[in-house]
Amino acid sequence: MNTNAEVLDSRILLSQDEKGRLVYVDEHEQKHVDVVAVRAFPITDTMHGISILTKEGKELTWIDNIETVANPARSLLEEALDQKQFMPIISKVLSISRTAEPNEWEVETNRGPTRFPLRSEEDVLRLTGQRALIIDANGVRYLITDLTTLDTRSRRLLERYL
């Protein structure tokens, strides 16, 4: 909890049902089963701007700051967000199959080594600071948190894309 005595958000009532689905109870005590939690800014600001949606995409509630949500709802919310925001972090680029797209990348990530196809150089995006986002041909997003911490070979392989 923040030192400025911020009040915990008691309106966020989350639970899991017997099938492991996320359940949200709104201010009218209506139960919404199989809701989805999403971050408005999944890369730049993971703690702020969280929405709880129906599976059809209708927003049920907005959470300005996840730190204001009381447990156990906060723990369930963080777990749901982590599952939804599968984004491996690249620590090393081992190889890129060829200079023309589509090509195959072999990388090391925080989830282990992997290979993925890249459709176009436009799927490699430089973000603010020294970060980059790579979106593979299947839509999986990979993050490089700091380009300056990559080894020389990785940076050389990435030069043409950034």
Q: How confident is the model at residue 6 (pLDDT cuts 50, 70, 90)?
A: very low
Residue-range definition of the domain harbouring residue 44 = 13-84
According to DSSP, residue 82 is labeled: H
74 plus 96 within the same structural domain = no
| Total domains in the fold of the chain | 2
Tell me the whole-structure pTM to 2 decimals: 0.59
pLDDT surpasses 60 at 75: yes
21 plus 73 within the same structural domain = yes
Tokens representing 84 are: 């939804």
Q: Are 144 and 150 in contact (CB under 8 A)?
A: yes
- Calpha distance 52→62 (Å, rounded): 6
Q: Is residue 2 one of the residues assigned to a domain?
A: no
119 plus 63 within the same structural domain = no
Q: Is residue 1 one of the residues assigned to a domain?
A: no
Q: Is residue 107 one of the residues assigned to a domain?
A: yes
80 plus 94 within the same structural domain = no
Mean pLDDT on 6-23: 77
Percent of the chain with pLDDT over 70: 93
Tokens representing 77 are: 């919310």
Q: How confident is the model at residue 91 (pLDDT cuts 50, 70, 90)?
A: very high
Domain stops at, among 41, 64, 84: 84
Which residues sit opposite 99 in a β-bridge?
none
Q: 3-state DSSP call for residue 57?
A: coil
